[in-house]
Amino acid sequence: SNNGNNGKTGRFGKNQGKSMVIFWLVFFTFCLTQFLISRDKGNILPPRTIKILIWKWPYARRTNLTGNVCADLYDIHGCHLTDNQSAFNQADVVVFHHSDIYPSVATLPTEKWRPHLQKWVWLSLESPTNNRKINQLNGIFNWTMSYRRDSDIFIPYGELVPNIGQPFSIPKKISHLAAWVVSNYRESHKRTGVFHSLQKSMAIDMYGRANGKPLSKDSLLQTISKYPFYLAFENSIHQDYITEKLWRNSFMAGSVPVVLGPPRTNYEVFVPAGSFIHVQDFPSTKELAEYLRAVANNETHYRQYFEWKKQFTVKVYKDWRERFCQICKKYKTLPQRKIYHNLEEWINS
């Protein structure tokens, strides 16, 4: 009979053991769930703040960095911007704007001890034509930051963002067909030749410092908006080099862009095919001028160039802080061991 009792106890012991295992499993699962929930709320182990040092402000346009800029303005958290060079040793990322370093590599803090994991970023919104002395910068930078889609940190001049049912109207137009605003005027530019040739077949009003008719920031879009077309001619022709001439001067003003830049297929990566007219769509400037006249005289056809506004609105990037905060957004996905051994080759590719 003793043996029988022992058997019972053994069975009871087994059951009790199972219950304990189940209890601890449930308890552990509960704790893990609570941990994950609280971690997602940011209560446990908040992500490390990434410190970004702006070595020099692009074009010396210093902007206010008080407060938590990235979080407050752009909802990007765990990101600290500073322009205080004495924070060099604590910085995770140091950004160097090309036009501030190209006169001489000596302006780079290469003599300083560079923290082991610190990343150096080469920044430029200029085209390869306008970026000088790149060959001296090989083997120095980890990441690139530019208007090119294949940059490590892609910072376009503008983009189209979904438009939540915002009404739009096309500004009233005057009889002159097109406007062109140009400050950097050179006879050697391809665009200057196209302009002269086009001018023989149609009326183009030229503005800007180049011909003594500068437009203030306030009057720029207002003036352009009166013209059916705007000559969004880039100063040099390179992949992805599509500047504020398209985004701000044309799209924001409400004037149809006539573009000269990379091929049509490259523009179509960024904007709908029917939102612009490409100089290369025509065998000659004479035929381009004839087409522009025909479109301007046909309201239905002209309106088709604004169809995109039913779905999209333009976002133009003006604030450098927003661009710098993007580094934190991308930080985790960026290659940690990358070095541009031949920066020049990449830039000119």
| Residue 322 annotated as catalytic | no
Amino acid letter for position 154: F
Q: Tokens 């056809």 map to which residue?
A: 301
Amino acid letter for position 322: E
Task: Please check whether residue 128 is in contact with residue 347, taking contact to mean a CB–CB distance below 8 angstroms.
Answer: yes
Query: Annotated catalytic residue: which of 111, 126, 244, 307?
Result: 126
* Count of alpha carbons within 13 angstroms of residue 254, beta-carbon side: 12
Q: Tokens 């609570």 map to which residue?
A: 34
Distance CA 222, CA 181 (A): 13
Distance CA 303, CA 299 (A): 6
Distance CA 138, CA 317 (A): 29
- Angstrom CA distances, 40 to 29, 45, 78, 203, 329, stand at 16, 10, 14, 61, 17
- Provide the greatest CA pair distance for the chain: 119
Catalytic residues: 126
